[in-house]
């Protein structure tokens, strides 16, 4: 797959990077990426993936744009209120980069349809706002052997990790699954929703941009010397204190996907 002269000019500042180059840009053009959720996390992630030249982007979202979304879901404008988020996102990406093909999936991802959805893509981003969807996506990516970039937002904080549990670590042990990190979902009502607790819009921009960065890293095969992805590491961001911390986590032999009772 080759780049047109227009694409070479469009991505020139990216192609010149030693960690990307022409081969990396071609890999981006050939890549198929699925983004679950076109909201606070998905909006900035989608913009930077499209800007980077990811060739095909799938968007899964069954919601419509609400006025209360707009302070953080910057992919959508005021004139999109009441429209399906997939339709609004498709138009916005088309304005940003006409070289990107968008596959809009205006339905809710769940345990029944997740595997069929993720199997069509090379990398999956989960920007959903509930644990049922997160477990469905992460389980599907495990079984379909797809890298998963997953993030979550709080009031003034966020977290991010990358999952490749179908591969081994350099020491021969398995990479952890999402269920190694979060074995069980919290009890209903114990974690307030975004509507109840609130969220600062710019935090979605920070975390969604980092999701796009980790996705690009995965597609191009790393950025060269000193490169280290978030596989097996959880990035925790406290933007009230402006503190970034990284916690390493490992495979749990009791996890129900790749644990000892399964293997």
Residues labelled as active-site residues: 194
Contact (CB, 8 A) for 220 and 178? no
Alpha-carbon distance of 68 to 171, in angstroms, equals 47
- C-beta atoms surrounding 164 within 10 Å: 21
Alpha-carbon distance of 212 to 224, in angstroms, equals 18
Burial class (CB in 10 A: 0-12, 13-18, 19+), 194: middle
| CA 20 to mean position of chain CA atoms | 20
Long-range contacts formed by 228-231: CB under 8 A, 24+ apart: 229/162, 230/149, 230/160, 230/161, 230/162, 231/161, 231/162, 231/163, 231/164, 231/175
Supply 148's token pair.
Answer: 């998963």
Alpha-carbon distance of 149 to 160, in angstroms, equals 7
Alpha-carbon distance of 206 to 250, in angstroms, equals 26
């Amino acid at each position: 797959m080759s780049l047109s002269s227009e694409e070479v000019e469009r991505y020139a500042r990216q192609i010149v990077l030693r960690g990307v180059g022409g081969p990396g840009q071609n890999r981006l053009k050939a890549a198929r990426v699925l983004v679950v959720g076109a909201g606070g996390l998905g909006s900035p992630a989608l913009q930077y993936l499209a800007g980077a030249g990811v060739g095909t982007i799938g968007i899964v979202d069954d919601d419509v744009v609400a006025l209360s979304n707009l302070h953080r879901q910057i992919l959508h404008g005021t004139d999109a209120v009441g429209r399906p988020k997939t339709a609004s996102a498709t138009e916005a990406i088309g304005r940003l980069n006409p070289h990107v093909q968008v596959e809009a999936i205006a339905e809710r991802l769940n345990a029944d349809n997740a595997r069929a959805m993720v199997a069509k893509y090379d990398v999956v981003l989960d920007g959903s706002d509930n644990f049922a969807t997160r477990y469905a996506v992460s389980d599907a990516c495990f079984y379909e052997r797809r890298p998963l970039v997953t993030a979550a937002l709080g009031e003034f904080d966020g977290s991010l990790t990358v999952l490749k549990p179908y591969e081994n670590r350099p020491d021969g042990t398995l990479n952890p699954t999402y269920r190694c990190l979060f074995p069980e979902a919290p009890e209903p009502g114990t974690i307030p929703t975004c509507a109840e607790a609130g969220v600062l819009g710019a935090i979605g921009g920070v975390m969604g941009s980092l999701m796009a960065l980790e996705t690009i890293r995965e597609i191009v095969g790393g950025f060269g010397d000193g490169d280290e992805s978030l596989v097996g590491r959880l990035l925790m961001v406290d933007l009230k204190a402006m503190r970034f911390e990284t916690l390493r986590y490992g495979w749990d032999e009791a996890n129900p996907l790749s644990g000892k009772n399964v293997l």
